[in-house]
Chains A and B, each alone.
Chain A
Amino acid sequence: MKKLNIYLFIGVTFLFSSCSKTEFEEYEKTDGTANFSNYISVGNSFTQGLQDGGLHNEFGQQDNSYPAIIAKQMGTSFLQPLVSGDGSGYFHLQYVNGEIEVIKAFDIDITTNHPLAINYDPSFENWVSNTVKYNNLGVGGMNVRNVTSVGVNQGTDKPLFHVLFGSSAPGVLAWNGVTGEPISPFGRFLEWGSFGSEVEYIDNVIASDATFFTNWLGINDLMSWTKEGGDDVGGSAVLTDINEFRTKYDTVLDAFQTMGAQGVCATVHDIMETPYFTTITLDVLGKDIWIKEGADTTVIRKATDEDLILLTAKDVLGDGIGLIQSDPLPHTVVLDKDEVLIAKNYLNSINSEIRNSAAAHGYAIVDMHAFMHKLTSGLNFDGVAYNTEYIAGGAYSLDGLHPNGRGYAMIANEFIRTINANFESSLQSVSIGSYRGITFP
């Protein structure tokens, strides 16, 4: 007879593994050899925290300017001039008839404003006190040539140094020399003195008494010319003379050196790699486009791939301009290939002046030129891909020139990295996803 063998094994296994969990040490911020007690930032609109073609703060855009992020990681107090309401007015997106539409900021000088365009807030005419000492000295439209201006030949900037800030001001806020205010409200939070006893930007820098600074000046010296299609006939947007650039850049660093401040200087990125210059291409348009080469030429020719059609060409292209030889795109919306070459050479020149000036003063360089170029080929943070594609790229704001909150956070991290590398400090980088990107309707 066959014997029946039954083997029954019942296993109940408890695998508690709490013992194997690693508890990481909390990060500790250290200042290293740096003194962050009075951190001052100088620069242009990028430093001021401008995005979407305006200064606004409804989602903390200004609150999270890159210097404000850096200051927070330093654990130091940082006072910024902040707009209220709609600030200077700004671009936004609307969902119209199943399409996402970019609505530009209200412009007092034109009659074709979109009915939904956001105008500047009435408070913007007098949005700040110029007796308060701010930490963020970034001013929209600020060129290196504007740090001192009295007695220097610089086109229409002379001798009215108050007329600093180009054409970005709303019309009603035009030049008001009597009260000593600059033509552009972006700089009104600084002390400018009055006629006959003018106060310069550099005087505001000197008065800051910084212990630590970041300097990202130089962008506008390239950008204001290129974003207007290389038009320098009006004279308001010239490429700053390279010798003047160096002299005045030195002036800024001399000032910081004299007050004994530590700090870093950033190179200028290639503005021509931003969506403002790369969104409208012949490839996207799929047809021949006629362009006028420059203000002072009569050359009309077909656009080539080396000509950069600016984002501002969108409206006129929509009107049918540029499609026939007799009605070419105006030179102000095209940076033609010769101008691109001029701008690229100029960019290299100012960056080598920035490097040389910083080296001469013993200040380290934040290579923003290299970093922003990485963004052009694409970066990934925490599972989100970013590049320079207009809107979809996730890092640039609606104006195509200025980063959005996430782009500025990346920039802050790059500054932090360089600061840590040079001052034995351990400022913590920030998580890009904690900041706001594009706001969709």
Chain B
Amino acid sequence: MRRIILSLLLGAPAITIAGGFQLNVQGLKAIAMGGAFTGVASDATTVFFNPAGMSNLHGHNFTFGVNIIDPHVSLQTPETANIDQTSGIGTPFHFYYSGQINEKLNFGFLVNNQFGSSSSFEDNWQGRNIIQNISLKTFMFQPTISYKIHDKISVGAGFVYALGSFSTEKAVPLASGTTDEGKAHLEGNGDGVGFNIGVYSQFLTLGDETKNTKFAIGLDYRSKMPVDLSNGEATFTNIPVSLQGTFPAKTGFVSKITLPSVFTVGLSIKHTIAEKWSLEFAYDMNLTGWTSYDTLAFDFKNNDTPDSKQIQDWDNVLTHRLGLDFTYLEKYSVRIGLYQDNTPMKDNLISPHLPGVTQVATQQG
């Protein structure tokens, strides 16, 4: 049996720019259900959401998706009414595969962008000394296995290899007789490792073959991943001659970005009337460990260049996600999702690097 489902999701708000720089666009059904998927595990996206859920899947399952994100953000300061943030169109993609090796064992693999952010402002905007442009891209590769230890309980684990690249630009507040301000351009890339483990249990089934209600619970923990930018390169331009020893045309830097851990508890209840319709309710609660993103520090190789340290001091964030799926004749589905994603930024540390606005959003698919 081969099924190709081409779907279009409409009316989704800019979910990817919710809290921090996490990209919550991992699979269509999951997006439509507000990202509540840890306890659902009905397609290959579970490799990401909950590796243990692979035990639910039979045969070979592939999911591939590209999301086009075109965020528009405007900022306001006491001095400027509207500052448009010109961010490029982002195209995070995901590929998930889950294959059944035998009755108990599944093997899976994923490639996706779990974290990423890009924003840029007019070069001469008010906050140019904080940021002019910033871009973070990550690629995750995760070989995964799941094992059905009991009819009702399965476990899964994946090893995550992450590649990250980072670049940023900001104005350096140094003027000369002929220049108003210098510019710093920093870029680097690096890699890191982590893991993704989960438990999935369809612990209760009420009813019979033709009419039943299934209860499932999932737990998933994706570890934090420190990505070392050990070979960063900084270039300084438009620096007054007398300070070019401090801000040389070119120098190296070392930095580290810690991608946060995500712990999720998910619950799903699915009521099915065979060959007619099904209604599934899902709820996820994520705890994202943004405190790992405590500082953004750049240690320059040139000794005279003052090392830069930006205290982020973000809070861990609890996110609630609710999803509802109504499927008719196993063909037509209507889904609705609702989530509340709080910003990890403390009020007094709101920075224009990344969007930081608490979001309550709905999605319909």
Interfacial residues, chain A to chain B (CB-CB below 8 A): 3-27, 93, 95, 98, 100, 382-384, 394, 428-431, 433-434, 436-441
Contacts and interface: CB of A to CB of B under 8 A. Distances in A.
Contact of A13 (B43, B60, B65): B65
B12 A439 contact: no
A24 B74 contact: yes
B319 to A, nearest CB: 18
A431 B126 contact: yes
B241 interface: yes
B59 A17 contact: no
B2 A6 contact: yes
A10 B176 contact: no
A438 B43 contact: no
Contacts of A383: 127, 129-131, 170
A431 B61 CA distance: 56
A382 B129 contact: yes
Given A21-B73, A383-B131, A431-B77, 13 more contacts: A5-B59, A5-B60, A7-B59, A8-B3, A9-B27, A11-B27, A12-B65, A15-B12, A18-B72, A20-B72, A95-B242, A433-B128, A439-B177
Interface residues of B, number: 64
Contacts of A24: 74, 76, 81-82
Nearest to A417: B78
Contacts of B328: none
A272 B92 CA distance: 57
Contacts of B248: none
B63 interface: yes
A403 B40 CA distance: 63
A9 B5 contact: yes
Contacts of B31: 13
Given A95-B242, A440-B240, A10 B2 contact: no
A10 B65 contact: yes
Contact of A19 (B13, B127, B131): B13
Given A12-B8, A15-B14, A18-B72, A433 B62 contact: no
B67 interface: yes
Contacts of A23: 74, 82
Nearest to B94: A11
Contacts of B2: 6, 8
Interface in B171-192: 173-177, 180
Contacts of B57: 7
B64 A9 contact: yes
A290 to B, nearest CB: 34
A243 to B, nearest CB: 42
A425 B3 CA distance: 67
Interface in B73-91: 73-74, 76-82
Given A439-B175, A440-B243, A12 B6 contact: yes
24 contacts: A5-B61, A6-B60, A6-B61, A6-B62, A7-B60, A7-B62, A8-B4, A8-B5, A9-B27, A9-B44, A10-B4, A11-B9, A12-B7, A12-B8, A13-B9, A17-B14, A17-B72, A18-B72, A21-B73, A433-B128, A436-B180, A441-B240, A441-B241, A441-B242
Interface string B18-30: 0000000101100
Contacts of B177: 439, 441
A430 B44 CA distance: 54
Contacts of A27: 81
B70 interface: yes
A254 B152 CA distance: 90
B66 interface: yes
B71 interface: yes
B14 A440 contact: no
Contacts of A95: 241-242
B15 interface: yes
B15 to A, nearest CB: 7
B206 interface: no
A16 B15 CA distance: 10
A11 B62 contact: no
B6 to A, nearest CB: 6
B337 to A, nearest CB: 13
A19 B245 CA distance: 48
B26 to A, nearest CB: 10
Given A9-B62, A13-B25, A382 B130 contact: yes
Contacts of A3: 59
B196 interface: no
Contacts of B63: 8-9, 11
Contacts of A6: 1-2, 59-62
B173 A384 contact: yes
B173 A9 contact: no
Contact of B16 (A5, A11, A15, A433): A15
A409 to B, nearest CB: 10
Contacts of B71: 17
Most buried by B among A4, A10, A12, A13: A13
Contacts of B245: 98
B65 A428 contact: no
